[in-house]
Amino acid sequence: MALCKGKTIYHTLLGIYKQQISTSYFSTNKVLSNMYKDRVPSVQSIGELNALCIDDKPVEKKIRIPAKSEFSSAVTYDPIVQKFINILMRDGKKEKTREIIEQVLENIKMKQIENYHKATTDAEKAMVVTDPLKVFHGAVENCKPLLILKTIVKGGSGYRVPVYCHERRRLRVGINFIIKTCDTRKRKVPLSTVLATEILQAYNNEGNAVGKKHQLHKECEAQRAFAHYRWK
Amino acid sequence: MASRRLVQLSNEHWIVLNIKRSTVHHLQRCCVHSRIKEDLEDENFKVLNILRDKDVKRFKWEKPPDVRTLSRADCMKTDMNWTSVWPTKAPFRWGSVPLPIRQGYRKKEYKLSAGKYGNAELVKIPNFLHLTPPHIKTHCQAIKKFCTEFPSELKNREIRKANFPLEVITSDYVTCGTSIRDPRSREVTVNVDLSVLKFDEHSVTKIKKLAGDKMDEKAMTLQLKSDRCPVRKQNFDFNVYTLTALYYESQEKEDWEDEMEESDWVKYQWDKTQSKKKILKLKHRIQQINSGEKTDLASSVSKSDPSVSVVDTEDDIQSYKSAFSNLKDEGDSRETLNAYKQSVLKLLKL
Amino acid sequence: MASVIYRIVSKQPSGYCINSSLLRSSSSLKCWQRCVTTFRTEISDPSEHSFDHEGQFYTIPKKDVQKIFMLNWMSPHEKNMNKMFQEFSILIRRPALEVMDILKRLNYNYPLTRFLLYGEMNAGKKFTMTHIMHYCRSQNWVLLTVPWANEWNCKRLDVSFNHHKESLFDLPVHSKILLEDFLLKNMSLIKEFTTSTTYEFSEHEASEQGIPLTDLISFGITRMKFANDVVGALLKELQILANNDKIKLLVTIRGINSFWRKTGQKKEKVQEIHAQQLTLVNQFMELLQSDTKNAVAMCSTESWVNDVTDRKSYLPTELMGKEGVDFLEPFLPIEVPKYGNAELQSVMDYYIDRRWIQAPEAKTLDGRAQIKFLSGHNPYQLYRVCVPL
């Protein structure tokens, strides 16, 4: 349940699962307002309010952002898969992207389980990782670069300087490597199969995505002389 | 910005104060607060906090609303008399309706439609703001002196139904316009309870077909409406005429009614269909096999009229007939299909 | 080689989610392991299956899979599953047992009996048919299968006019595929039989009386122009053989409701061809209506034939129309329902055994309840729900 299935549960509760009605119809109509009708406010008496504000400090005003649709408190909620979906998404078609990722996980799982059942001895079976999420995480981890190149203008000319970057940036670059290798696929080959093979290769430290990472590292090493330009 | 502060006056009494602060004061306080925070958290190593807290926003003065620009709806009290605001039928005026109404096309799914201010869409649609419950209450009280009391003996519905099977409904209208005549007053509806009349099996089905939508088949009541003639009496006469015509037409039986095709049947008649021939042939063949006769296919077909040897009143054929016509009449469901399956199994002696 | 990465578990609930209350209780790990033997039977011969084995899996031997089901019967998705699990196992369900029970008690001197399987989409009609086909194969029956009758309507390959009747249209490529499929399945059973009469396909070409049946079929495969006529000849031969008690015949037609629909086929000026105008459909309808002994027809109605917009109906009259019911009667309607509770548990056991469900949370009692709720007792949805687990 790495893909957020919160929406599907919501759909099944309403009895509209796998039908051609969008969720927004229900959010704008009477359904939600009826669900919230009998809600009791969380703070009712002054005593509880006092317990909330103990010290004399002024209450800070914070911007309240509504939770995104993919958030869920499920035990198996997976932020990296969600990140991957968000980066892969085009034109806000999240449902479509989610389907593709589901296909990818299915393909990976199918291949690995086939290998698992083909293996004869226990030692060989133990080597095969059948959990698609583990494979997915491993592939993303293997594609993360240590350094990235940043263009800095110094004295009128630009230099490409190797720069250390933080964790979030590394994750994004690594995911982008995987996605961009799949952009050069042939027509009529579905994206899900290409992504699945790419991820399986990346999990074994092979393939184009990992190659891109190595190439970036090489370039960083070549531009080592400009490293001190980082401090402008 | 109004920040809330709780002040303790004595042991039990708490007061919430809303304190307004100036801009300078607040910014100063923020800087001091962050410095103290840094000092407290790591005494040994000071970290420069370049990315400032994004939650702290600039203080913004909110203007109080100008009294001169307020509309009538904004100044209204909650207990005002609505009938005096909206006495008669009128097009929508956004200024005098204190309701959060929206109307119009939504450009995006997540966007709301336009509000009431200057909204031409709201003017286009009919409104019923002159027909609120307080309006109707006052209207009724005004008209009450013209009405007579309903006879108390007839208040029981069953007595009314037994003695008066024909119910005539008309309505009169009072308007404040230039003409005292209302076109709707010539409308007449006649409700008839058909259980009083005599019908046999054929005529019931026929009147159902003839009446169509006017007939309520479960309750066996007929509702006739008419406003085609200019005067009320003519309309009433027309309704009574249609009632008599319907009744006598349903009693007659035409020649062509026997020649109806399968698609026109109200009830499925198994005896008239190809299905009967098929089943009788099958039954005949099964009987042949069971009795041990060894006949070729060709000879069994050439023996014309298999129904001579097979009696169609046999138990399994009767059960098949009832099950199949039930399937045809009531449509598919789990029960009818199961009953049909049982009858076929019986036919095949399983 | 593989770097060790732990599964990232969310730290705090954020946002409003309905499934939160469902999932939170599953954190208390109550491992619920069943005995492995309860959901499998070792008996691979379907003739020995009885109502005691209901809700258990049995494995079809690999040589049977290769011979009967591999070529045309199985869809790519089923082939993938077969490849993944490295075995072909089927759940023994009540409708299949019911049909097999009737087949055992049936008097084969009676004219042809027709079964009609109906049920909701993805409810398991195809695998019920697979089970019955395997049973008939184990009894040495001749199998004549139409894996997907709607293909004649939708797959536009080649259309030609019929030589004998002008109003009919031939589908040579489809009938060639049908012949190939028939030959592969029944090669060993029909070796010895010969044709009873002569068949004239055109002025120059005819098959004489007394040639082997396999030669007739291979003639149809090599000369694709006459493939459709050969199908007609083959059906007649099979009827004669069955009437003489030499073979027993099982006719399987999947999606019979496509016989009463418009097709997408075109031929020159004729833009709209109804399915009743196809020669193949007419030949099969003749076979179904005949009084052949020793023959059983098993048909199924499928909602997939309909357009995407109206696939909700699944009952026979809604799909076939009145014509279809009048044509088929008397038939034995057999419903293929969705999974019951016991079946659902055994399928989940099977998935856990075959590693399709791996997450430890899903193996608990609460996890199973969640999967059950999400799948809605539908077999295919159950498979889909377990994909990311």
pLDDT at site B219: 84
End-of-domain residue from the set B9, B42, B62 = B62
Could you list the residue range(s) of the whole structural domain that residue B41 is in? 1-62
Tell me the percentage of chain B whose pLDDT exceeds 90. 25
- H or E, element range at C169: strand C169-170
- Specify the pLDDT at position B240: 94
Q: Share the mean pLDDT of chain A.
A: 79
Q: What is the Rg, in whole angstroms, of the alpha carbon atoms belonging to chain B?
A: 41
Other residues' Cβ atoms within 10 Å of the Cβ of residue B299 = 9
Residue C380 located in a structural domain? no
* pLDDT beneath 50, residues of chain C: 1-36
Same domain (yes/no): B291, B338 = yes
- Reduced to 3 states (helix: H, G, I; strand: E, B; else coil), residue C145 is strand
Q: How far is B105 from chain A (nearest CA, A)?
A: 14
Query: Which tens digits make up the pLDDT trace of B242-277?
Result: 999 999 999 998 888 888 888 878 788 888 888 888
What pTM did the predictor assign? 0.70
Cβ contact, residue pair B286, C110, below 8 Å? yes
- pLDDT of B65 above 50: yes
Residues of A in contact with B3 (CB under 8 A): 58-59
Taking CB atoms and an 8 Å cutoff, what residues of chain A touch C358?
Answer: 130-131
Same structural domain, B193 and B250? yes
Q: What is the mean pLDDT of chain B?
A: 80
Q: State whether A56 and B6 contact (CB < 8 Å).
A: yes
Torsion, CA A119, CA A124, CA A128, CA A130, rounded to 10: 60
pLDDT digits (tens, 9 = 90+) for A127-181: 888 888 889 999 999 999 998 898 888 888 888 888 888 888 999 999 999 999 9
At residue B27, the pLDDT reads 44
**What are the CA-CA distances from residue C162 to residues C262, C278, C279 (Å)?**
19, 9, 8
Print burial letters for C161-171: b (CB count within 10 Å at least 16), e (below 16): ebbeeeebbbb
- 8 Å CB contact of B331 and C326: no
Candidates B272, B295, B297, B303, partner chain C, best to mutate (most C CBs within 10 A)? B297
Give yes or no for residue A39 having a pLDDT over 50. yes
Task: Provide the pLDDT confidence category of residue B46 given band limits of 50, 70 and 90.
Answer: low
Please indicate, yes or no, if residue B117 is contained in any of the structural domains. no
At residue B6, does pLDDT exceed 60?
Answer: no
Residue of A72, A84, A128 for testing the chain C interface, max C β-carbons within 10 Å: A72
Residue type, A101: I
- Asked if C5's CB is within 8 angstroms of A141's CB, the reply is yes
Q: What is the mean pLDDT of residues B220-237?
A: 93
In this prediction, residues B189-217 reach a mean pLDDT of 89
* Residue C360 within a domain: no
Statement to judge: residues B230 and B278 lie in one domain: no
Peptide bond just before C330 cis, omega within 30 deg: yes
* Of B224 and B67, the one with more pLDDT: B224
What is the pLDDT at residue B93? 92
Contact B4 A53 (CB under 8 A): yes
Q: Write the CB contacts of B6 (distance below 8 Å, at least 6 apart in sequence).
A: A50, A53, A56, B14, B15, B16, B17
Q: What is the pLDDT of residue A210?
A: 93
Chain A residues whose beta carbon lies within 8 Å of the beta carbon of residue C80: 110
Nearest CA to A143 among A66, A198, A210? A210
What pLDDT is stored for residue B255 in this prediction? 87
C56 within domain boundaries: no
In a domain, C382, yes or no: no
Query: How far is the C-alpha of A196 from the C-alpha of A105, rounded, in Å?
Result: 7
Do residues C223 and C199 make contact, with C-beta atoms less than 8 angstroms apart? no
Res. A77: pLDDT tops 80 = no
CB under 8 Å to A46, separation ≥6 — which residues?
B14
Q: Report how many domains make up chain B.
A: 3
Q: Which residues of B touch A53 (CB under 8 A)?
A: 4, 6
What does the alpha-carbon distance between residue A151 and residue A42 come to, in Å, rounded to a whole number? Answer: 52
- Among B62, B79, B102, the domain boundary falls at B62
Confidence (pLDDT) at A114: 92
Mutate to test the interface with A, among B107, B109, B111, B113 (most CBs of A within 10 A): B109
Give contacts of A50 with chain B, Cβ < 8 Å: 6, 14
User: CA–CA separation, C178 vs C193, rounded Å?
Assistant: 19
B308 pLDDT band (50/70/90 cuts)?
low
Note the pLDDT of residue B218. 85
pLDDT of residue B192: 92
CATH code, C321: 3.40.50
Last residue of a domain, one of B234, B258, B282: B258
Q: Which of B285, B320, B333 sits opposite C111 (nearest CB)?
A: B285
Domain ranges of chain A: 1-77, 79-232
The whole-number pLDDT of residue C371 equals 86
Q: Examine the pLDDT at A16 and tell me if it is beyond 60.
A: no
Which residue in A8, A109, A138 is closest to C374 by CB distance? Answer: A8
* Amino acid present at B141: Q
Position B248 scores a pLDDT of 94
Q: In chain A, what residues touch C86 (CB-CB under 8 Å)? A: 114, 117-118
Chains touching chain B at 3 or more Cβ pairs under 8 angstroms?
A, C
| Neighbouring C-alpha atoms within 13 Å toward the C-beta of B50 | 0
| Cα distance between residue A23 and residue C18, in whole Å | 15
Query: Is the pLDDT at B20 greater than 90, yes or no?
Result: no
Fold of A79-232: Ribosomal Protein S7 (1.10.455)
Q: What is the DSSP code (8-state) at residue C194?
A: B
In a domain, B314, yes or no: yes
Q: CA C300, CA C316: separation in Å to the nearest integer?
A: 9
Number of domains in chain C: 1
Helices B315-330 and B274-291: crossing angle in degrees, nearest 10, is 150
With respect to residue B249, please indicate whether it lies within any of the assigned structural domains: yes
